[in-house]
Amino acid sequence: MVVAPPGMLKTTLIKLGIEDYPDALLLSDLNINTLTSMKNSLIDGRYSTLGFGEFEKLYQRNPATAINIEAHIKALVEEGFLRSSFEDQRTQAIAARCAVIGGITPSCYSQRFAKWMDNGFARRFMFCSYTLQNPDAIMEAIGQWKLINFGKVMGMTPGNKKIPYTITEEENKFLRHSISGQPTREGPFIIAKKMLCVLKWRHGPKKAQVIFADFAESLKSKGALLHL
């Protein structure tokens, strides 16, 4: 979950991060019927990542409906989404799983935090918070009528091979320290280990740790300052 105030480019950053991956889908909203219709595409690997630029939009509806979709997303990222409540529960079903990335405001995070802790939603996600160090850069870009250059995120996948697990005991200590500001430990620790494995596979051990250490500023209780 990417936590930042309104107008701090959450949707833009999420979109830039996933747009080069054909198995990633950016959503503006989601309901149970849509999720159920997408289930086969999640099972067969057509989509393995769902991104929500404004995750809190899911809660801007009937509270019971919002809680239901939240429960299904919670299942998607861990044990798997088997079937909807309106489907016959006696049928065989294959679990659908995927990664979920969402952008939320600090106010939404604060409002939902206690419930997320109680129902187990919080422990399944890593919360990365930031604010812009130079927010005037957005107004300057508008004034000059030029796009802000975010650089290029080059999509890269291992193909049919699996990225190996290569975390050392020293790196375990580094990761546990990096996530110490998270509201829960187990979920963020698992996510962090997977992230570092991917970074090591792509960049090598030394550069991977530098990249993760920079990113880890957003995992602390005070969040990170992002410079444009």
* Domain architecture of the chain: domains with CATH: 1-125 (3.40.50), 131-221 (no CATH)
Reading the block at residue 208, the tokens are: 């991977």
Cα gap 210→183, rounded to integer Å: 24
In which residue are the tokens 């109680």 written?
118
Strands 99-104 and 128-132: unpaired
Reading the block at residue 143, the tokens are: 């004034």
Cβ neighbors of 27 (< 8 A, separation 6 or more) are 50, 51, 52
Tens-digit pLDDT string for the chain (228 aa)? 999 999 999 999 999 999 889 999 999 889 888 998 999 999 999 999 999 999 999 998 888 889 999 999 999 999 988 877 777 677 788 899 999 999 999 999 999 999 999 999 999 999 999 999 999 999 999 999 998 888 777 777 888 889 999 999 999 999 999 999 999 999 999 999 999 999 999 999 999 999 999 999 999 999 999 998
171 φ, ψ (degrees, to nearest 5): -70, -35
pTM, entire model: 0.90
3-state secondary structure of 152: coil
